Amino acid sequence: MIFGAILAGGTGSRMNIADMPKQFLPLGDKPIILHTLEKFLLCDRMDRVYVGVHPDWVGHMQDLLERQVPQRERVTLVPGGGDRNSTIFNIVNQIEADWGESDDHLIITHDAVRPFVTLRILEENIEAARAFGACDTVVSAVDTIVVSENGETISQIPDRRLMYQGQTPQSFRISLLKKLYQSLDEEEKAILTDACKICVVRQTPVRLVEGDVSNLKITTVGDYKIAQAMVGGQVVD
Amino acid sequence: MINHIYQLASPGVFSIEYASTDLADKVILRPRFMALCHADQRYFLGQRSQDVLRKKLPMALIHECCGRVLQDPTGTFAPGARVVAIPNSPQSPDPIISENYRRDSRFLSSGYDGFMREYVDLPADRLVPCDGVPDHIAAITEFVSVTVQAARRFDRLAHARRNRVGIWGDGSMAFVLACTLRFLFPQIELHVVGKNARKLSMFSFVGATHFADDLPQGFSVDHAFECAGGEGSYYAIDDIIRTIEPQGAVILLGVSENKVAVNTRDVLEKGLTLAGSSRSGREDFVEAIRLMGDPAVQNRLNRIISIDDPVCQMEDIQRVFRTDLNTPFKTVFEWRM
């Protein structure tokens, strides 16, 4: 089976423009997270969509589902964990409690605050996860990437042609992701910034899926204003 | 949900519009295969008047596509159903005037966004199931339905002597019209009049083909269709008026940017009926799907379809328009945006 996993565990501390987590802010005519969820629900290959929400906001999300999402029977809410990967594994545990373990289960993990994801990106993630076990959505780096180890001077300038910027979805065969994660010690787990790194630290290949510059992550006030302008809505702050 | 709409911003330049849309009461279609039409190409190349371009752009192009239903709150279609989309959108009912000729009808890709979108939302009656027709052929259903509309206009207007019918033109429209007439009126002897030997050689299933500048002595037809369009319209219509038998019906399908002079003296003398035929409506689509289910028709349509590589990114949109300039008939492509 194919499972969407929308990650909305954060509380939006980088935004500071509203009391509510950024994924619940309005974009056009509805909250950001509903745009993202609707895109997943419209992907007919997605059997179920799990949404990891910060425990304080599960009730709010439940209300939104009941009021605005006719296909809510395909949606399951899961309380988020302390960080990104623990939210993912809360969802994995819930999936396996609901549907059992299987080598055929795929999980398409995605940031709730990337509502501009396209059906093409979702479909290509499904294909790549099925064929290769793990994939990451990326776009070629447009700007030169500069490495600075002390924050004051340049340590190195890598070849831009080899540089990509990571987006989401990141998608996996669930059995592979679990096996790799369980093999990590606590120190290794502590340096993980995203789920693909679980594979990279264990030298497991992660296939690249071409993302889209429009698939932006709404993290700052500036991003939010850009997203509002993209859909022609009013800026609310 | 946010829909990505791929619009022609100005000739040769595409941009994306992000539209937040409500899914409540519409059927949601994921386009799968699309076909290009001369009308799209005229926008892409900037061959419409500046005034038209200013009024209509930015706009998503393409009005020929098939796809699968993603969701349908009306319950008309099951998720996954294969359908073709009708670009004509009537705004009010009219028992007399056909939907494709009403003044208030909207046409997607002419003033309203066409099908180059991530998904397309339409009322259920703007979709027709296309089971039994492969995707790449179903993509040109709108094009076939335009010839069905012309064939139905002919059937209504033409007198009963229908031994020989002429088609002027050797392009895609003439070819598909010949397929349609052959299927709907198999007893009629079809004569195709064109200019290009290679294109005329494709019409192997008609009674005869002729070069426009070398018509046989005494050549005549009972009725005629004009599918030349553009600069060729004048010569085609003039030939038709000269060679058609009295009281024949002339169905005009070719689009011309400029006004065309017509030999009205002979139109009057012969008592001819000149009728325009443009676009199509739901009935034409349903009939088109019926005839496209016929293996012989599919076989013939296959001959004029060039399948380009899939469109996965913005650059690919440019590519299919350029490819189409170098293909003699219809360009079809898979839509993966």
Whether residue B154 contacts residue B190, with contact meaning beta carbons closer than 8 Å, is answered with no
The predicted pLDDT at position A12 comes to: 46
Q: Is the pLDDT of residue A237 over 50?
A: no
Rounded-to-integer distance, Cα A108 and Cα A50, Å: 10
Mean pLDDT of A76-88: 92
- Predicted-complex ipTM score: 0.82
Calculate the alpha carbon distances from B5 to A39, A139, A223 in Å.
15, 20, 21
Query: Quick one: pLDDT at residue A199?
Result: 93
C-alpha to C-alpha distance for A162 and B234, rounded to whole angstroms? 58
Average pLDDT, chain A: 91
* Confidence bin at A10 (pLDDT 50/70/90): low
Residues of B in contact with A34 (CB under 8 A): 1
Q: Which of the listed ranges A18-27, A204-213, A227-236 does the model predict with the highest average pLDDT? A: A204-213
pLDDT tens for each residue of A86-143 = 999 999 999 999 999 999 999 999 999 999 999 999 999 999 999 999 999 999 999 9
User: B-chain residues within 8 Å CB-CB of A214?
Assistant: 4, 16, 18
Contact state of A116 with B28 under an 8 Å Cβ cutoff: no
Facing A119 at nearest CB: one of B24, B73, B118: B118
pLDDT above 90 (res A19) = no
Q: What is the pLDDT of residues A21-60, one digit of tens each?
A: 889 999 988 999 999 999 999 999 999 999 999 988 999 9
Q: Do A42 and B4 touch (CB under 8 A)?
A: no
Which among A38, A115, A119 is the nearest to B30, CB-wise?
Answer: A119
Q: Spell out the domains of chain A, with CATH numbers in brackets.
A: 2-136+168-230 (3.90.550.10)
Q: DSSP states of B63-78 as a string? A: -EEEEEEEE-TTSSS-
Q: Is A30 on the interface with B (CB under 8 A)?
A: yes
Contact flag B20-A70 (C-beta cutoff 8 Å): no
Q: Does B335 touch chain A (CB under 8 A)?
A: no
Domains of chain B: 2-139+304-334 (3.90.180.10), 145-276 (3.40.50.720)
Cβ separation B20–A39 shorter than 8 A: no
Query: Which of B18, B30, B74, B317 should one mutate to test binding to chain A, selecting the residue with the greatest count of A CBs within 10 A?
Result: B18
Maximal C-alpha separation, chain A: 54
Map residue B23 onto helix, strand or coil: coil
Dist. CA B276–CA B95, nearest whole Å: 20
- For residues B256 and B287, give the distance between their C-alpha atoms in angstroms, rounded to a whole number: 27
Q: Return the percent helix, strand and coil in chain A, to nearest 5.
A: 40, 20, 40
Whole-model pTM: value is 0.89
- Binned average pLDDT, 10 residues per bin, chain B of 337 residues: 94 93 85 96 94 94 97 93 96 95 94 95 96 97 98 98 98 97 98 96 96 96 96 96 98 92 97 97 98 96 96 94 93 96
- Looking at the partner chain, which of B2, B118, B119 has a beta carbon nearest the beta carbon of A115? B2
What phi and psi, each to the nearest 5 degrees, are found at residue B275? -130, 135
Answer yes or no: do B337 and A28 touch at CB < 8 A: no
Among B4, B20, B24, whose Cβ lies nearest the Cβ of A27?
B20
Output the 3-class SS for A188-207. Answer: HHHCCCCCHHHHHHCCCCCE
